[in-house]
């Protein structure tokens, strides 16, 4: 999957930047289902943006664009987020376009892409594990929840979300605003890849899960949990020597990890050695 990994990253750069995440998501969907027509899906996204653009006055304000986007997407076309998300459903943009219902990560990517096509400077925000969007030239008052109809969250609403997520009150977490962490497109792509990994694992499709892990490691080299899982997937696919190489690398890089004693035992089993990286 090396070529695909490089392709995914390139989609987030240069001329593809505004639509890169959607292209990456659709490309991943096509890997899972070859029947996915990436070009057709992208055309449909551009058409959605064009339909919204036709409603805007000349030189529209940001509020005008957000209102038109939310009205068309949620009130007229009735796009909604899935109430429950199961690993076996998959974060498929093409299904979201077909059914007008989908997972949170797909929803956010579609909304982000439409916003950028409409010249909104949107960026991702991780807030207590929740994926939100923010106007890059705005402040904390410009945080948008695409999965709740594109509502713009007030400071008070953000505090309430924070308190529900972490417990306690904002007063006991005076630096709570650090939780409004910016997510660049690569970080959002990593989140998407982890959902694809979960999708493939739910079906015991280890090659697909392995491809997702390799793509993540291409974006975040040496990420500990993914490196470990890469070895575990190789072991599940009856590739003991390759799995052992990953375990060696993990132990070398993270000798104090709680997983290290167990991995040393696995190395003895995989390679038939009694002494492994003392």
**pLDDT tens, residue by residue, 213-267:** 999 999 999 899 999 999 999 999 999 999 999 999 999 999 999 999 999 999 9
For 143, phi then psi, to 5°, come to -90, 130
Question: Taking the domain 185-271, which CATH number applies?
Answer: 1.25.40.10
What pLDDT does residue 177 have? Answer: 62
* Contact in structure between 224 and 253 (CB atoms under 8 Å): yes
Strand order in the sheet with 143-145: 151-153, 143-145, 130-135, 122-127, 181-183
Its pTM stands at: 0.87
What pLDDT does residue 136 have? Answer: 78
**pLDDT tens, residue by residue, 78-120:** 999 887 767 667 789 999 999 999 999 999 999 999 999 999 9
What pLDDT does residue 272 have? Answer: 76
Identify the bridge partners of residue 151 per DSSP, sorted by sequence position.
145
**Taking phi first (over 0 means left), then psi (-120 to 50 degrees means alpha), and beta for anything else, what does residue 150 get?**
left
What is the rounded distance in angstroms from the CA atom of residue 104 to the CA atom of residue 248? 36
**pLDDT tens, residue by residue, 156-197:** 888 777 777 666 666 566 556 666 778 899 999 999 999 999
Break the chain into its structural domains and give their ranges: 2-125+133-139, 185-271
């Amino acid at each position: 999957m090396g070529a695909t990994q490089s392709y995914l990253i390139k989609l987030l750069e240069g001329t593809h930047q505004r639509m890169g995440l959607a292209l990456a998501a659709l490309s991943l969907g096509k890997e899972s289902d070859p029947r996915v027509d990436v070009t057709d899906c992208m055309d449909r996204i551009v058409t959605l943006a064009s339909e919204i653009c036709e409603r805007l006055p000349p030189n529209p304000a940001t509020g005008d664009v957000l209102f038109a986007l939310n009205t068309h997407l949620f009130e007229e076309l009735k796009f909604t987020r899935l109430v429950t998300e199961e690993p076996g459903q998959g974060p498929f943009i093409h299904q979201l376009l077909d059914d007008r219902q989908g997972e949170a990560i797909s929803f956010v990517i579609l909304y982000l892409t439409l916003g950028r096509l409409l010249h909104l400077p949107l960026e991702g925000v991780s807030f207590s594990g929740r994926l939100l969007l923010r106007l890059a030239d705005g402040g904390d008052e410009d945080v948008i929840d695409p999965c709740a109809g594109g509502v713009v969250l007030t400071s008070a609403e953000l505090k309430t979300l924070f308190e529900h997520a972490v417990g306690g009150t904002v007063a006991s977490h005076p630096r709570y605003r650090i939780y409004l962490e910016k997510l660049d497109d690569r970080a959002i792509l990593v989140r998407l890849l982890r959902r694809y990994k979960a999708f493939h694992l739910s079906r015991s499709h280890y090659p697909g899960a392995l491809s997702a892990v390799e793509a993540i490691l291409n974006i975040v080299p040496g990420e500990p949990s993914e490196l470990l899982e890469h070895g575990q997937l190789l072991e599940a696919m009856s590739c003991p020597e390759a799995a052992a190489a990953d375990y060696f690398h993990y132990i070398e890089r993270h000798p104090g990890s709680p997983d290290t004693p167990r991995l040393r035992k696995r190395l003895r089993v995989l390679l038939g050695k009694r002494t492994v990286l003392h």
